[in-house]
Amino acid sequence: MQSEQAIVASNLTKVYRSRWTGREVRAIDGVSLAVPRGAAYGLLGPNGAGKTTFVKCLLSAVHPTAGAAYVFGRNTADPAARQPIGYLPENHRFPTYFTGEGLLDFYAALSGLPAAERKRRIPRLLDLVGLEQWGRVRIGKYSKGMLQRLGLAQALIHSPQLLVLDEPTDGVDPVGRRHIRDILRQLESQGVTIFINSHLLAEVELFCDEVAILRKGKLVLTGAVRELVAGKGYRLTASGVTERLYDELRARAAAAASRDGYVDFQFTTRQQVNAAVDALRAEDCEIEAIVPTASTLEEVFVQAVEGASEERPEAARA
Amino acid sequence: MMITTAALIRDTFREAFARKIFWGLFALSTLMILFFLFILKIDVVEGAIATVTLFGRPAGPRGGVDVDRLVRNVYGGIATFLYTWGMALSVFASAGLIPSVLEPGRIELLLSKPVSRLHILLGRFLGNVAVVACNVAYLVLGIWTIFGVKTGVWGPQFLWAIATTVFIFAVLLTVVVLVGVVFESAALATMVTIALGLVSPILAQTTTMVRLLSSELARDVWRALYHALPKVYDLGRLTLDLVRREPAGDLTPVFSSALFGAAALSLALYIFSRRDF
């Protein structure tokens, strides 16, 4: 629990093989990323990009084909590594025979909380998510938004240090969304790391400090949201970049990512990108592309995703 | 460890009772208990049955029948009924409890907790055995008490029916777990398990079949199947012997069935630990 990184994915790869045809699908392909402790981090990507597989690898619901995932320095294959994780899955299916209180009690017990502690925490959590009047009602009677809030309470019941949320505001009305965002802000201020997998770019832009964008299982961009959306800028792609130069340019860039021998830098000004080109050419690096980037996260997302598919078909095939 | 195991067992109880079929099992047991409590009247005079009345009318043996013998026979009948129909109903009722845990949206949440997969599946298995054990114990103890009070004969040998029925249920449940983990189908799990129960009395005729089969290979296959599969029929015979206070025969079927159960459960655990969800 002393690690500075809440999550570290190291060359994480998951290949699904059809049992009958032997056909392979690379759901995630060599993804390496680090989520600092205490950050609010968003994982973005189009449908089928591998976001859910990545999250499932983090939770050991899916076994990686290669690479490993670590939470606070411990390999997630070890059940004890999941102790500090609170997880809210997308499309969760809570057993309807539970009441709200019963469900929280069950999942708290699975996290090892003693009965007295569970009894103390359950009313507080129900109150936090605005379900204090619904604790003794069977969850079959809950609306989708209420189930989502109960799911959040479930994820928080054992005071986790890392919250992994898959579409946390799915089905929640705007007021409820704001409420959830406020809860998450409060948790973030308490040092809890929040990792969100979401399609709602505006939501992520509002809440997250950093994002990673996946496309077809590969990481195409990582960076600080504030810098990515600071204004129009440029994404520079190069190859043959030495580690020293990569670190040097990364320090000047708003965001940077490296994959398959290519590196991407996101610069906010033309001067910065020109300086980077000069530095790269001085060391005989190849400039693969310079693409203007836009100012909203949605535009950054679209450019990153479409750019990745248009620019390097050979890389995508690799 | 204890907190999580208890939580998994409690959850299985909750789910079992949320499924109306388990209430059906308890209702059936209660009906049987009430039948013996109110409908069957036995008058005992000096250690022998004077009259047995059913629905208020004389039935069964009259005068001079040994109480102990009658009670032993009734125990045997009930144990056989429980062992066959009770078992089939229990397997049917339990078959959905494993695939339900593996449903998308539910299993991910379970796996995200700091609990090993082995622990999750074993907790579910134990919970399921505990539910059926409660039902069997309720029925057997209920009938045993009624017969004890009505006849004055307290034959503790009848209580063996709890142990043997729960034991063979646990062995068959390992098949339910294995099929459930591999195919996530309650219907298939029921079919395979019931088929094992049905094939058992046929396989148990080893001596006759070995004589009848012409090829040595066929004889070997027959013997191998008999020894490998759970011996539901043999254990049923053993139960009958125990509850009737007759000398119990060979105990090998107990050990070989336990070995089968351990192997099936180990395989299920291995597959479950390797699967992606």
ipTM for the predicted complex: 0.82
Query: Looking at CA atoms only, how far is residue B122 from chain A in angstroms?
Result: 14
Which of B6, B15, B104 faces A97 most closely, judged by CB atoms?
B15
Amino acid letter, A288: E
Please check the confidence at residue A161 and state whether its pLDDT lies above 80: yes
Q: How far is CA A146 from the centre of its chain?
A: 24
Residues of A in contact with B274 (CB under 8 A): 63
Give the containing element (helix H, strand E) for B172.
helix B160-183
Q: What is the pLDDT of residue A318?
A: 31
Prediction pTM value: 0.81
Amino acid letter, B66: D
Q: Are A111 and B110 in contact (CB < 8 Å)?
A: no
Find the mean pLDDT for residues A181-204: 89
Please check the confidence at residue A190 and state whether its pLDDT lies above 50: yes
Nearest-10 Cα torsion for A152, A157, A162, A166 = -20
Query: Looking at CA atoms only, how far is residue A89 from chain B in angstroms?
Result: 7
Residues of A in contact with B110 (CB under 8 A): 110
Q: What is the pLDDT of residue A316?
A: 36
Q: What is the pLDDT of residue B167?
A: 95
Residues of B in contact with A97 (CB under 8 A): 14-15, 17-18
Task: Report whether A318 contacts A239 (CB < 8 A).
Answer: no
Which residues of chain A from 94 to 133 reach within 8 Å of chain B, CB to CB? Answer: 94-98, 102, 105-107, 109-115
Query: Residue A46 phi/psi, 5° resolution?
Result: -70, 175
Which of B3, B111, B119 faces A60 most closely, judged by CB atoms?
B111
Q: Confidence band (pLDDT; 50, 70, 90) for A310?
A: low
**What sign does the CA torsion over B118, A7, A191, A165 have?**
negative
Starting at the edge strand found earlier in the chain, the sheet holding A66-71 runs A24-36, A5-17, A66-71, A74-75
Residue ranges in chain B whose pLDDT is less than 70 = 43-65
B182 touches chain A (CB under 8 A): no
Query: Looking at CA atoms only, how far is residue B274 from chain A in angstroms?
Result: 8
Q: What is the pLDDT of residue A117?
A: 95
Strands A162-166 and A66-71: unpaired
Q: What is the mean pLDDT of chain A?
A: 88
Residues B203 and B24: their CA atoms lie apart, in Å, by 32
Kindly identify which residue of chain B lies nearest to residue A98, measuring between CA atoms: B14
Q: What is the pLDDT of residue A207?
A: 85
Q: Cβ atoms within 10 A of the Cβ of A159, count?
A: 15
Q: What is the pLDDT of residue B75?
A: 87
Residues A309 and A314: their CA atoms lie apart, in Å, by 10
B112 touches chain A (CB under 8 A): yes
Residues A111 and A124: their CA atoms lie apart, in Å, by 17
Q: What is the pLDDT of residue B86?
A: 86
Which of A62, A97, A110, A138 is the best residue to mutate to test the B interface, defined by the most B CB atoms within 10 Å of its own CB?
A: A110
Which residues of chain B from 11 to 40 reach within 8 Å of chain A, CB to CB? Answer: 11, 14-15, 17-18
∠ CA A202-A207-A211, nearest 5°, is 80
Task: Report whether A90 contacts A109 (CB < 8 A).
Answer: no
Tell me the three state secondary structure of residue A89. Answer: coil
Residues A160 and A83: their CA atoms lie apart, in Å, by 8
Which residues of chain A from 158 to 217 reach within 8 Å of chain B, CB to CB? Answer: 164
Please check the confidence at residue A276 and state whether its pLDDT lies above 90: yes
Find the mean pLDDT for residues A94-104: 94
Q: What is the pLDDT of residue A306?
A: 78
**A202-211, A230-239, B59-68: range with lowest mean pLDDT:** B59-68
- List CB contacts of A175: < 8 A, sequence separation 6 or more: none
Residue predicted with more confidence, A4 or B43: A4
How many residues in total does chain B contain? 277
Q: Are B105 and A93 in contact (CB < 8 Å)?
A: yes
Q: What is the pLDDT of residue B151?
A: 81
Q: Are B4 and A97 in contact (CB < 8 Å)?
A: no
Q: Are B105 and A164 in contact (CB < 8 Å)?
A: no
What are the CA-CA distances from residue A26 to residues A23, A65, A305, A311 (Å)?
Answer: 10, 10, 17, 20
Which of B20, B270, B276, B277 is the best residue to mutate to test the A interface, defined by the most A CB atoms within 10 Å of its own CB?
A: B276
